[in-house]
């Protein structure tokens, strides 16, 4: 099916005449006629009744019209999603199940008219993401560099929101039935956080966290994916892991894993957004102000060192 034919169908249906639709589309009336005929042949159904004054939709044509509109709209959105210059807002997240993606999804649900594309750079280094922001390949990225001085001149990093941590344990774990936990209760616990890139901001975060509360966080070991990790948790009586409260996880029901909030103090990972310092995408403003509507964390929340310097509010661009 040719989307130009669908577009012709929609315009012809709206205008009631092939001729007008043809003029508007910059082709001859015969071309529109052939396009419609091709559609009708493909669908094995008559879409218009031809009259002397133009055309009129058949019942099948009426039924087809809204779907045709949706196809055309989809094509237009698809084109604007990649058209350089005036393209849809494109934001890089670490993973589609991360808290960042969840918050973005929240935003989109409350602003469904936004043309928003969520992508994932297949790289670990936040500086690569910063370069992609600078180059305009993406409009913003939920990445963090612990030293803002290492950012390109044209890229700024603002605080987006803080993601509180929860302990994820299997049913046989001694803490499995706790309603909440405090950091001291996590001491000497085997906490396994695989897949952390050495010398990344995440490894530094866990280092600081382990030091601050005397925790035993095992960040080494290869990452075989979430399924393997969740399997291991479900079977184990002593291994736990940390996840963001907003992170989305799929666990088969038989896994029966529990998420346990950590309080007094709450432990949180500060999520930042990198965006161009000049001419950011106009749609970013609304996304950023959406962060402010997230429920704030308690004043006593623990944060890593690079976030304890006076935090900038999230309202600015």
Query: What is the binding site for a copy of itself (CB under 8 A)?
Result: 1-4, 43-45, 56, 59-60, 62-64, 66-68, 70-71, 74-75, 77-79, 81-84, 87-88, 90, 117, 119-122, 132, 137-138
Among positions 288-317, residues that touch DNA (CB under 7 A) are none
From a copy of itself, DNA, none, interface partner of 233 (C-beta below 5 to 8 A by class): none
CB count within 10 Å of CB 20 equals 16
Q: Which two tokens stand for residue 14?
A: 């709206």
From DNA, a copy of itself, none, interface partner of 19 (C-beta below 5 to 8 A by class): DNA
By C-beta, is 33 or 144 nearer to DNA? 33
Radius of gyration of the chain (CA): 26
CB neighbour class for 309 (10 Å; exposed up to 12, middle 13-18, buried from 19): exposed
DSSP secondary structure letter of residue 37: H
Q: How far apart are CA 126 and CA 205, in angstroms?
A: 15
Among positions 14-73, residues that touch DNA (CB under 7 A) are 17-19, 26-31, 33-38, 48, 50-55
Number of Cα atoms under 13 Å in the Cβ half of residue 19: 5
* Rounded least distance, CB 121 to a copy of itself, Å: 7
Question: Count of residues for the chain?
Answer: 317
From a copy of itself, DNA, none, interface partner of 316 (C-beta below 5 to 8 A by class): none
Q: Which two tokens stand for residue 138?
A: 């993406």
By C-beta, is 170 or 283 nearer to a copy of itself? 283
From DNA, a copy of itself, none, interface partner of 74 (C-beta below 5 to 8 A by class): a copy of itself
Q: Which two tokens stand for residue 74?
A: 């989809």
Contact present, 260 and 167 (Cβ < 8 Å)? yes
* Rounded least distance, CB 17 to DNA, Å: 4
* Rounded least distance, CB 52 to DNA, Å: 3
* Rounded least distance, CB 81 to a copy of itself, Å: 5
Q: How far apart are CA 286 and CA 265, in angstroms?
A: 31
The contact set with DNA (CB under 7 A) reads 2, 4-5, 12, 17-19, 26-31, 33-38, 48, 50-55
């Amino acid at each position: 099916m040719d989307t130009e034919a669908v577009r012709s169908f929609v315009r012809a249906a709206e205008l009631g005449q092939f001729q007008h639709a043809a003029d508007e589309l910059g082709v001859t009336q015969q071309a529109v006629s052939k396009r419609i005929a091709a559609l009708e042949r493909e669908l094995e159904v008559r879409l218009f009744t031809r009259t002397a004054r133009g055309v009129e939709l058949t019942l099948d044509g009426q039924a087809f019209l809204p779907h045709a509109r949706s196809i055309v709209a989809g094509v237009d959105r698809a084109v604007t999603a990649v058209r350089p210059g005036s393209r849809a807002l494109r934001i890089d997240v670490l993973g589609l199940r991360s808290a960042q993606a969840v918050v973005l999804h929240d935003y989109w649900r409350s602003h469904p008219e936004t043309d928003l594309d969520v992508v994932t750079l297949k790289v670990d280094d936040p500086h690569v993401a910063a370069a992609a922001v600078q180059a305009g390949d993406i409009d913003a990225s939920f990445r963090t560099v612990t030293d803002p001085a290492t950012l390109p001149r044209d890229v700024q990093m603002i605080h987006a929101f803080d993601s509180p941590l929860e302990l994820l344990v299997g049913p046989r774990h001694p803490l499995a039935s706790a309603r909440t936990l405090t950091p001291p209760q996590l001491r000497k616990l085997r906490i396994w956080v695989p897949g952390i890139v050495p010398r990344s901001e995440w490894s530094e975060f866990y280092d600081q966290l382990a030091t601050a509360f005397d925790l035993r966080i095992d960040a080494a070991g290869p990452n075989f994916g979430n399924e393997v990790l969740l399997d291991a948790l479900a079977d184990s009586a002593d291994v736990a892991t940390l996840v963001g409260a907003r992170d989305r996880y799929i666990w088969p029901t038989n896994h029966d894993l529990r998420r346990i909030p950590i309080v007094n103090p709450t432990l949180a990972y500060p999520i930042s957004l990198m965006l161009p310092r000049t001419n950011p995408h106009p749609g970013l403003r609304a996304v950023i102000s959406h962060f402010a509507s997230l429920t704030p964390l308690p004043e006593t929340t623990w944060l890593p060192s690079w976030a304890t310097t006076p935090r900038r509010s999230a309202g600015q661009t």
